[in-house]
Amino acid sequence: MERQVVDKSAVRRSAERSTRVSAKLEGRVVPQDFVRSPKVEKFVAARTPAKAVPV
């Protein structure tokens, strides 16, 4: 089988589709209208690294 050049956007779409399908199979699908509680937002913010500010 010959090698083929694949566009980066095609690879990204494939990865996104695979991730969505995998999450659905594992029961990890979150409805679009879902809103996190303030407690969870605070937890996520605490675990997210701060962005570096350019000098």
User: Quick check: 23 and 29 in contact, CB under 8 A?
Assistant: yes
Task: Specify the DSSP element, H or E, that contains 42.
Answer: helix 38-47
Name the residue with tokens 């969870």.
40
pLDDT computed for residue 1 by the predictor: 83
Written as six digits, the tokens of 19 are 């991730």
pLDDT tens, 11-46? Answer: 999 999 999 899 889 988 888 898 989 999 999 888
Global pTM reads 0.49
Written as six digits, the tokens of 50 are 């701060």
What CA–CA distance (Å, rounded) separates 19 from 16? 5
pLDDT computed for residue 31 by the predictor: 83
Nearest to 36 by CA among 25, 46, 48, 44: 44
Is the pLDDT assigned to residue 51 strictly greater than 80?
A: no
Where are the domains positioned within the chain? 8-47
